[in-house]
Amino acid sequence: MVAILLSLEEMKTIKDELCSIELSKKLKEIGYPQDGQWFWIDDGDGETFDIVPRENLPYCNEGNIIYLSPTVAELGDKIPPLYLNRIVKSRFGYWSSVERTLDIGKHKKEADARASMFILYTKIEKEGEKQVKTRELARCKRKDVYGEKGGLI
């Protein structure tokens, strides 16, 4: 296996396509799949992180903390179009959502905006599941009191 070496210019371009370490940590916490091309790896102190390609992972130390840093494209594949189409770049150069109800903040990079939208989407989906379960439970309780056809038992 050969380690991949990139120039500083190539790294700068790649980092523009990847989400930040902070959002990568949040993505991992909520269960985002850790199978991608680029990873944040700590320098051994747990505070300083560098970006490395998947091909270089075997050369890392066993104790290194590793977070996937999804690309703009990878995040686009995971976010439903209904949410993805709400992310826009303003004339001031930052990325945000066009809907106030989908507040993801303002981001300098599209990858960060998409990561924030994925986090918000996941939260909405989980809350939606709870609401559906609550409605289903309420419906079942009504059946117990009113019967199948709605009349009192």
Chain centroid to CA 112: 9
Task: Evaluate whether 71 touches 53 at the Cβ level (below 8 Å).
Answer: no
Residue 88 in tokens: 């826009």
Partner residues linked to 67 by β-bridges: 40
**Residue 151, CA distances (Å) to 136, 137, 146 in order:** 19, 18, 5
Q: Scan for tokens 């799949």, then name that residue.
A: 33
pTM value?
A: 0.76
Best CA proximity match to 18, nearest among 43, 49, 46, 47: 49
Q: How do the pLDDT tens digits run along the chain, 153 residues long?
A: 445 555 656 556 788 899 999 999 999 999 999 999 999 998 777 778 888 888 888 877 777 889 999 999 999 999 999 899 999 999 999 999 998 878 899 999 999 999 999 999 999 888 886 775 666 666 666 655 555 554 444
- How far is residue 89's CA from residue 95's CA, in Å, rounded to a whole number? 4
